[in-house]
Structure 1
Amino acid sequence: MTMIRFAAPAVTALALLAAQAQASDLRAMSDEDRAAFRNEVREYLMEHPEVILEAVNALEQRQADAAAKADVDMVAANHEAIFNDGYSWVGGNPDGDITLVEFMDYRCGYCRKAVPEITELLQKDGNIRLIVKEFPILGEASVASSRFAIATRLVAGPKAYGQVHDALMEMQGDVSNVVLSRLAEGLGLDADAILTKMNSEEVDEELSKNHMLAQRLKISGTPTFVLQDEMLRGYLPAAQMARIVAEKRKDG
């Protein structure tokens, strides 16, 4: 973690100014004394403008630390729904010591960009459990794609889901029942059964649960990852995710 430290002269000068202000309540000062104090502060800042940047950096670091702490708390409060919901597809190494959860949308360009990065991470590491959360937020085509993927898992099992998931990530053009039917048939799946299942209560419930979970985690975009106790909002290259994984293992 990066720590922000003020330059010693800046700290000393500001401390003296603060002490002076505390010793003399500004509200009890005369107009002349108050104006003199303000001028002294202004003159110091004009001579040392870097103090303002240091203060901004300190504020940004404080806000980032608070946001990270809030994310950790949200993950802890929703642990079972994130990591053990009983329905989300599990890939990678199901017995891995590190779990990576992805909230994704098939029509999201950055989700598609992340596919080879995640694949590389899983292949090089070999001890990461991957959980995919269907989170369609980019329109009707996104919803139809997720419904089709979930229905495939319900009808044909997790292996078929994995095949459909990869195919949908590469699909170009409009998503229609005709296109989805051809996709299913091309993979040797029962297209009619999957299309019928798409609008079932089971699929509705799964999507609803994922959206409610995303709301609790304050997720508004894709991809969003949960890596152990940490939330990673947005696309990350494999090398960066690998470094975070290594830190998680080290922290143990």
Structure 2
Amino acid sequence: MTMTRIVSAAALALGLASTPALSFDIGAMTEDERAMFRDEVRGYLLENPEVLMEAIAVLEQRQAEQAEANDVAMIAANEESIYNDGYSHVAGNPDGDVTLVEFVDYRCGYCRKAFPEINALLESDGNIRLIYKEFPILGQESVTSARFAIATKLAHGDEAYGEMHDALMTLRANATEEVLARMADDMGYDSQEILAKMEDPEVNRQIEENHLLAQRLEISGTPTFVLGGQMIRGYVPLEAMQEMVAAEREDS
């Protein structure tokens, strides 16, 4: 627990943080006044330690509410880039009444853990529009995989991208260009055409745009989901995701 949180919680506990009449500036106190204040706080908290925990809980709740409000504002300010960028792959039902956006990295363990559950979500609910945002952040194999997926879409279209996305999510080998090329050939696609498309400036543009969007949304990890006005950072089990989708549907 940091000293800032202790002082904030102590002020809450003593009613000093929210009562204008009792506002104070520790820096303006004399040494004797500071000593008396420290003794009063210490004595009170020793006698009533549960108050400190209650105050910390209030402080954390306020911080969580502020974070949620910030997420709503950031999503609203970037709505077009999130939901209608013109290049991100759309899975599920393109005309669904709920849109779920996933920032994904193919080498992310939690993205892979979420992968079958997201598929199960789409299968159990035929009215979800799912948008994938290629967001490689875990090293060169992540970048290579994302570039290969985008190049597959440029070379062979949306259906091919969907198949390649699934294959990359379950790939156990190292994601080198040679391995990915063999995989594409085995899937019936022209690997040389895909490799050539990886050099297309459009591939770089899409990845750069997604990184810039992630910066604006203060997203630094994967998977991160955007659902309505909320951001869901990290893996969420299927049942919890179904409940969130149901809540979003009710609110919209």
Which TM-score band applies after superposition, normalised by the shorter structure? 0.7 to 0.9
Distance in 1 (CA, whole Å) between partners of 2:81 and 2:29 is 57
Aligned to 1:210: 210
Partner residue of 2:222? 222
Q: Residues 112 and 170 of structure 2 are in contact (CA less than 8 Å); yes or no, is this contact kept in structure 1?
A: yes
SS in 2 for 1:88: coil
CA distance in 1, matches of 2:23, 2:182: 80
Hey, what's the Cα distance between the residues in 2 that align with 1:101 and 1:124? 17
Larger radius of gyration, structure 1 or 2?
A: 1
What residue is the counterpart of 1:167 in the other structure? Answer: 167
Matched, 1:247 2:247: yes
Which segments of 5 or more consecutive residues in structure 2 lack a partner in the other structure? 1-12
The equivalences for 1:179-190 within 5 A come to 179-190=179-190
In structure 2, the residue matched to 1:76 is 76
Shift in alpha-carbon separation, 1:140–1:54, aligned structure 2, 3 A: same
Gaps of 5+ in 1: 1-12
Equivalent residue runs for 1:43-82 within 5 Å = 43-82=43-82
Structure 2 partner of 1:4: none
The residue aligned with 2:5 is none
| Separation in 1, partners of 2:23, 2:75 | 45
Q: Which amino acid aligns with 1:66?
A: Q
User: What TM-score do the two structures reach when normalised by structure 2?
Assistant: 0.86
- Aligned to 1:185, the other structure's residue is in SS state helix
Aligned to 1:201: 201
Match of 2:96 in 1: 96
CA contact (8 A) 2:103 2:223 kept: yes
**1:231 matched to 2:208:** no
TM-fit CA distance, 1:36:
5.9
- Cα distance in 1, alignment partners of residues 75 and 41 from structure 2: 44
Using the TM superposition, give the Cα deviation of residue 45 of structure 1 relative to its aligned residue in structure 2, in angstroms: 2.3
Residue 178 of structure 1: CA displacement? 2.1
Tell me the CA shift for residue 224 of structure 1.
0.6
Point out the more displaced range, 163-172 or 34-43: 34-43
Pairwise CA distance, 1:42: 3.7
Letter in 1 for 2:49: P
Counterpart of 1:43 in structure 2: which amino acid? G
In the alignment, the residues of structure 2 paired with residue 89 and residue 244 of structure 1 have an alpha-carbon distance, to the nearest angstrom, of 22
Determine the structure 1 residue equivalent to 2:148.
148
- 2:138 counterpart of 1:120: no
C-alpha distance in 2 between matches for 1:236 and 1:216: 23
* Alpha-carbon distance in structure 1 between the residues aligned to 2:37 and 2:194: 75
Deviation readout 1:63-122 (Å, 9 max, x if unpaired): 111111111111110000000000000001111111100001111111100001101111
Partner of 2:191: 191
Paired amino acid for 2:65? D
Measure, in 1, the Cα distance between the counterparts of 2:87 and 2:146.
14
**Separation (CA, whole Å) in 2 of partners of 1:46 and 1:156:** 69
Q: 1:122 to 1:23 in 2, by over 3 A?
A: closer
2: CA distance between counterparts of 1:128 and 1:28? Answer: 59
Q: Which amino acid aligns with 2:83?
A: F
Number of aligned residue pairs:
240
| Secondary structure of the corresponding residue to residue 175 of structure 2 | coil
For residue 34 of structure 1, report the CA deviation from its aligned partner. Answer: 7.4
Partner of 2:137: 137
Counterparts of 2:31 and 2:146 in 1: how far apart (Å)?
Answer: 69
Matched residue, 1:7: none
Cα 1:25–1:213 shift into 2, 3 Å: closer
TM-score normalized with structure 1 length? 0.86
